[in-house]
Structure 1
Amino acid sequence: MDTHTRESFKGECSNLLAEVSVDWRGRPCKPNKHGGMRAAIFVLGIQAFEIMAIAAVGNNLITYVFNEMHFPLSKSANIVTNFVGTIFLLSLFGGFLSDSYLGCFWTMLIFGFVELSGFILLSIQAHLPQLRPPQCNMLSQEDHCTEAKGFKSTIFFMALYLVALGSGCLKPNMIAHGGDQFKEDDDPKHSKKLSTYFNSAYFSFCFGELIALTVLVWVQTRSGMDIGFGVSAVAMALGLISLCSGFFFYRNKPPQGSIFTPIARVFVAAFTKRKQICPSSTEMLYRSENTNAPNRAVGSFRHTNKFRFLDKACIKVQDGSNMNESPWRLCTVTQVEQVKTILSVIPIFACTIIFNTILAQLQTFSVQQGSSMNTHLTRSFSIPPASLQAIPYLMLILLVPMYELLFVPTVRRITKRESGITPLQRIGVGLFTVTFSMVAAALVERRRREAAVGSEKQMSIFWTAPQFLIFGLSEMFTAVGLIEFFYKESLGGIQSFLTAMTYCSYSFGFYLSSLLVSLVNKITTSGSNSKKGWLSDNDLNKDRLDLFYWLLAGLSVLNFFNYIFWSKWYSNTPPSSSSQGGGGRTLKDNEVDNIHV
């Protein structure tokens, strides 16, 4: 048996395993015992508890870094920003490990304990004075605070990035593992079930965020950060208990080796044969070595004309010679379509970055905006500005069930789709709606500034509620639609990795926010007689935050039209003239052949 035949045989065996979801013993799953919402409920449990734990730490971390570890304010802000960005970037690593080597369940279990150890170490450091720099009198001009250095600093960053590593690797796998519990098996209601699960997952996320931003932040404020970190550790432990409780009910997709190898082979093979001419008929393209096996690469998806240069990777040089060709020179149509899918979803992913840039403003400038307003609900009780972030989640806990129970059935009668609207349509609605969040923020900020400067009156903090409410509504469409889109469009074996891309959008959105602030300050300073930019002062009454909000609203409108272009480009892919079947764009699990060789 030559090398290429042996490699193809290994690939076919791998795909046969991938077609069958297995239980905890590695045996094929039983439809009446494994999977379904009964199994997914345990995944929803760890998702709620994990976001509860990480959100409580992340939203109040700057208080601990600045007040207890005594890092300068600018450095403290960078520490928090780097921490959040690292979490989302590490989601790619978690998705890669899961799809390639460990599988979703074991990836979640291992890194869940990594995250738990980070919370415990943070709690120990916050509790023991010898692990923190000495307290200082902030009122004394002679007493200067000394920031944490050496061993104390090492312990802090070790704990912080254990949390980041654990949370980052957990996030994409919670979504993917929950989705894996719903096997398609030609079920006409599969799309509806999957959409219901993603809505339930987002409800679980909102519930965890709401508890974190209210109860857990209150515990941190009243009882100390050591108790607060300890409560986060308890929440994480409860999440792991929930995960392990469903051990006997899960459908598990076996890992299939490195997901990057077959992708790299397509590019190498296409480059090697770059001088070849793409055939007019797809029947001339290489499909499978196994002539006895059904041609699973066609019949349920269309061979597309996007990125046709990649089709050169599966051109047969001459009849009969393909048996001796290296897998790095000859790929199957299915492998090429997998790479095409990954390339095709990148523009959709890029269109959500502006959306998350707006989210960054709501977590920074809008909180600062609320700090300069009247926060008193009664004479004796005031609302912490950071708790404004709980407003959208409080609303979403009500809206998500209404969306599933009222909106979807109503729209289903019109569109004849089980999920009501497609994931791409759902993302579009969110990207359009989020513009009005920045419009509301700009109008409120202008009125607040005029009132503060003209009459020195403080507006009520509740005037900022509309911008948070509108963003919450738009996030229900965009965030859930994006996750559903990536999961459904991904081919067999890369669901976790592509789902992780949704979290990278958060990182890029926050990084773009920092870049925009710097650029706006630089541009407006150079064109201003006062030599001060829109956001260069530490006083919002002197800054022009309202103009910055209007800029973001304008960018959001442009981004929406950009998204319309790319979503139409993605949806209106013409099939090649000779392709068979006109079904869906993606492959089903039982129709993937030789993806991972």
Structure 2
Amino acid sequence: MERSGSSKARCMMGDNGEAELKLCNAESKRAGWITFPFITGTVALLMMGGNGWMTNLIVYLIQEFDVNRIDAAQIYNVVNGCFCLLPILAAIIADSKLGCFVVASVSSFVASVGVVFLSLTATFNSLRPEPCGDKSSSCKAPSNLQLAVLYTGIVLATLGASGVRFTTATLGANQFESQKDQSTFFNWFFFAQYAGFVLSSTLIVYIEDSVSWALGFWLCVAANLVGLAVLVAGNRYYRHETPEGSPILSLARVLVASFRKWKLQLTLDGDEFYYGRHGQNKEVEVPPKKNFRFLNRAAVKTDGDTKPDNSIARPWRLCTVQQVEDLKAVIKVLPLWSSAIFLSTPIAVQNSMTVLQALTMDRHLGPHFMIPAGSVLVMVMISSLVSLALIDRCQSPSPLWKKLTGSPPTVFHRIGVGHLLNVLGMIASALIESRRLRTAHLHHLQNINNHSVPMSVLWLFPQLILVGIGEAFHFPGQVLLYFREFPANLSNSSTAMVSAMIGIAYYLSTVLVNLVRRSTGWLPENLNDGRLDCVYWLLAGVGLANFGYYLVCAKLYTGKDGNSSSNLPMTDVAGEKE
């Protein structure tokens, strides 16, 4: 499937003579690798600016606004959930009305305004409550004005950051015509994203903690504004896709129309189907496929469904064959997408549990430096960065791979490798936690609340490295799969599917931890007296079962062009689709 081929097709069959030729010449000077530094630079800067305040939000709320620890954690959870789920809304707006460039530009500006509000609270003492002093004195609650400025900043910064995440991915992918180039772009898109996360989680967080909250937040503002400038500077080179109305609404119409005609008897006569105002040759060249046959009723013409000019008279009773096939394409991808949710849930649990483990371990590096517990997770990003760079250099199928599998690697192979590495990461987590518990018991620390165990925090790095390498395989692979297999008018929604999956997994991880706490004694307040290793073994089992589910989904999947999963290449090196 070629997303950008539509512009090329318009050039080939244009009817407007010289005007059409000028348009084609203008298109030929756009897109391609000339846009790459603008888009990846934008991603790195905007992720740096967005993650810089978000990573340290709990500490800021506790230290500067005297917020209760539990309340601060709940606010952080809501912010992260919105950060992962709201890209779907941004994608729908981009697909329906504005296009991904406009949505990304507006979102980055909104994010900058939001972080400005946060920076003002850190800069002016009047926008923060007075310090508590000693623990025995009561703390003065923030005023309504102080809370209004704080939460306005948080809301705007979250909305803006979430609107940028995957609209920039679609904007970048639309600049390339070959699947090899698209695959390479997605590798480097995630590389740039992780690079921004690493810089913000280390440099900016250090400045906020050790130098000044105001300076750290204003650096986030600067990163957002520079990122916006870079995005706009590349506009002259971008290929822009024209939104064609609400694609989500068209999918809903197919469902409604098929249910309203559920009593209709289908025949094998292709003339009964509606292909569009200009007939079959302009829309799709074959009748609707036999899969999900009940949806085909939505494209069956009945009396009163069309006007004399063959346009649709009742949109909620008649749809085109292409709209029906678009909905089928989305439905077919959903099982694979659901397997990705259960892939990310163990990762979300591991992230929070790893921080708790780090708090109970020796975090010293030399006599004068202690690793912040939250910074341990940077190893996931670093290992993903290195892996993405290596994967991009080794995308061509190796002779060993061909000898083992008898076929070139596909996008399904890449995602499957990510599943297996995730399971290995959970197993490593269980083994390392077992060692930590043995060390705690050896020193009789099980009855001392979360006392530091004489075991280096560096022991946590192998499990994080495995998960990071796994993310380098399955996250870009999933974005590439959804981008290829979703209908072209849902391109923004397709890339945002990964973000929505992470958001759902984040909330599912919270539910899973609560269930474990209520039904077992594995997660007491004192980790030294618990069995966190059993939680990791449970996550490994869930991951292994989910891998089996993924294999079934991948085996049964057929692409929108009719190819099986074994024929969906990872790049065009393995066989470009026409």
Q: Distance in 1 between matches of 2:161 and 2:239?
A: 22
Kindly state the Cα deviation for residue 345 of structure 1 after the two structures are TM-superposed.
Answer: 1.6
3-state secondary structure, aligned to 2:370: coil
Specify whether residues 19 and 118 from structure 1 end up closer, same or farther in structure 2 by C-alpha distance, changes over 3 A only.
Answer: farther
Q: Given the alignment of the two structures, is residue 458 of structure 1 paired with residue 443 of structure 2, yes or no?
A: no
Q: 2:290 aligned with 1:305, yes or no?
A: yes
Q: Does 1:66 align with 2:62?
A: yes
| Residues 235/19 of structure 1: CA separation in 2 closer, same or farther (3 Å cut) | farther
Shift in Å at residue 412 of structure 1?
11
Alignment of 1:488-567 (within 5 A): 488-524=484-520, 533-535=521-523, 537-567=524-554
| Whole-angstrom CA distance in 2 between matches of 1:403 and 1:575 | 28
Aligned to 2:43, which of 39, 42, 47? 47
Correspondence for 1:360: 348
Instruction: Report which structure shows greater RCO (CA 8 Å, sep ≥6).
Output: 1
Match of 1:78 in 2: 74
Give the RMSD, CA atoms, in angstroms: 2.8
CA distance in 1, matches of 2:537, 2:320: 50
Q: For residues 150 and 31 of structure 1, what CA distance do their matches in structure 2 show?
A: 53
- Cα pair 2:274 2:301 within 8 Å, conserved: yes
Shift of 1:320: 11
Question: Offset of 1:464 from its aligned partner?
Answer: 0.3
Match of 1:257 in 2: 245
Give the superposition deviation at 1:240. 0.6
Alpha-carbon distance between aligned partners in 2 of 1:197 and 1:402, rounded to the nearest angstrom: 14
Alpha-carbon distance in structure 2 between the residues aligned to 1:53 and 1:234: 8
Task: State which of 35, 41, 52 in structure 2 corresponds to 1:56.
Answer: 52
Which of 125, 137, 142 in structure 2 is aligned with 1:148? Answer: 142
Structure 1 pair 476–29 and aligned structure 2 pair: CA distance change class (3 A): farther
Residue in 2 that maps onto 1:270: 258
Is residue 321 of structure 2 the alignment partner of residue 327 of structure 1?
A: no
Q: Distance in 1 between matches of 2:559 and 2:155?
A: 43
In 1, distance between residues paired with 2:372 and 2:562?
Answer: 55
> Offset of 1:348 from its aligned partner?
1.6
Shift of residue 20, structure 1, vs aligned partner: 5.2
- Could you tell which deviates more after superposition, 560-569 or 281-290? 281-290
* C-alpha separation in 2, matches of 1:297 and 1:412: 41
Q: Tell whether the 8 Å contact from 1:305 to 1:573 is kept in structure 2 after alignment.
A: no
> Structure 1 residues 221, 325: closer, same or farther in 2, change over 3 A?
closer
What secondary structure sits across from 1:458 in the alignment? strand
Is the Cα contact below 8 Å between 2:349 and 2:510 reproduced in 1?
Answer: no
Q: 1:505 is matched by which residue type in structure 2?
A: M
Question: 1:20 touches 1:29 (CA, 8 Å); kept in 2?
Answer: no
Q: In the alignment, which residue of structure 2 is the partner of 1:370?
A: 358
Matched, 1:33 2:48: no
Shift of 1:152: 1.2
State the 1:258 CA deviation.
1.8
User: How far 1:395 moved relative to its partner?
Assistant: 2.4
| 1:157 aligned partner | 151
Give me the whole-angstrom Cα distance separating, in 2, the residues matched to 1:146 and 1:360: 35
Amino acid at match of 2:285: V
Conserved in 2, the CA contact under 8 Å of 1:304 and 1:573? Answer: no
The alpha-carbon deviation at position 401 of structure 1 amounts to 2.0
Aligned partner letter, 2:63: N
Task: Supply the distance in 2 between the matched residues of 1:411 and 1:515 (Cα, whole angstroms).
Answer: 45
User: Please, which of 276, 279, 282 is the counterpart of residue 267 of structure 2?
Assistant: 279
Please tell me the residue identity of whatever aligns with 2:528: N
Displacement after TM superposition at 1:422 (Å): 2.7
Cα 1:86/1:574, change in 2 over 3 Å? closer
Deviation at 1:283, TM superposition (A): 5.9
Partners of 2:299 and 2:268 lie apart in 1 by 13
Residue in structure 2 matched with residue 590 of structure 1 by the alignment = none
TM-score by length of 2: 0.87
State the shift of 1:389 in Å: 1.4
Cα distance in 2 between the residues matched to 1:320 and 1:260: 21
Greater Cα offset, 95-104 or 51-60: 51-60
Q: Displacement of 1:327 after TM fit?
A: 3.2
Q: Distance in 1 between matches of 2:239 and 2:561?
A: 35
Percent of pairs with identical residues: 29
List runs of 5+ in structure 2 lacking aligned partners: 12-21, 446-452, 570-578
Q: CA deviation at 1:148?
A: 2.8
1:244 aligns with 2:232: yes
Matched, 1:410 2:403: no
Aligned counterpart in structure 2 of residue 338 of structure 1, from 288, 302, 326: 326
Aligned to 2:169: 175
Paired residue secondary structure (1:451): helix
Structure 1 residues 545-570: Cα deviation after superposition (integer angstroms, max 9, x where no partner)? 11111111111111111111222222
Most deviating of 94-103 and 206-215 = 206-215
Counterparts in 2 of 1:408 and 1:225: CA distance versus 1, 3 Å: farther
How far does residue 218 in structure 1 lie from its aligned partner after superposition? 1.4
1:279, 1:304 → 2: CA distance? 13
Shift of 1:76: 0.6
1:19/1:358 Cα in 2 relative to 1: closer, same or farther (>3 Å)? farther
Higher deviation after alignment, 220-229 or 400-409: 400-409
Mark the CA change 1:346 to 1:284 in structure 2 (over 3 Å): closer, same or farther: same
8 Å CA contact retained: 1:20, 1:253: no
The answer to whether the 8 A contact 2:485-2:559 is kept is no
Matched, 1:91 2:87: yes
- What CA distance in whole angstroms lies between the structure 1 residues aligned with 2:76 and 2:557? 36
Gaps of 5+ in 1: 1-14, 185-189, 525-532, 577-582, 586-597
Scaled by the length of structure 1, the TM-score of the pair is 0.84
Is the 1:305–1:574 contact (alpha carbons within 8 Å) kept by the matching residues of 2?
no
2:556 counterpart residue number:
569
Q: Partner residue of 1:591?
A: none
Letter in 1 for 2:436: R
- Equivalent position SS for 1:368: helix
Q: Does 1:288 align with 2:273?
A: no
CA distance in 1, matches of 2:430, 2:401: 38
Q: Return the letter of the residue paired with 1:349.
A: W
Question: In the alignment, does 2:393 pair up with 1:389?
Answer: no
1:210-264 Cα distance to aligned partner (Å, 9 max, x none):
1112211111122122111111111111111110110110100112222233212
> Aligned-pair distance for 1:502?
1.3
Residue number in structure 1 paired with 2:448: none
1:245 alignment partner AA: A
Change (3 A) 1:574 1:171: closer
Query: Which residue number corresponds to residue 314 of structure 1?
Result: 299
2 CA distance for matches of 1:407 and 1:254? 32
The residue aligned with 2:426 is: 438
Task: Evaluate the alpha carbon distance shift between residue 365 and residue 104 of structure 1 in structure 2; reply closer, same or farther with a 3 A threshold.
Answer: same
Deviation at 1:156, TM superposition (A): 0.9
Matches within 5 A, 1:448-487: 448-455=436-443, 457-487=453-483
Once the two structures are overlaid, the 10-residue window that deviates more, 391-400 or 546-555, is 391-400
Is the CA contact 1:357–1:510 (under 8 Å) kept in the aligned structure 2? Answer: yes
Q: What is the Cα deviation at residue 304 of structure 1?
A: 3.6
User: Following TM superposition, by how much is the alpha carbon of 1:266 offset from its aligned partner in structure 2, in angstroms?
Assistant: 1.0
2:329 and 2:560 in contact (8 A); partners too? no
Give the distance between the partners of 1:412 and 1:212, measured in 2 at CA.
39
- Distance (Å, rounded) in 1 between the aligned partners of 2:25 and 2:106: 23
* CA–CA separation in structure 1 for the residues paired with 2:288 and 2:399: 31
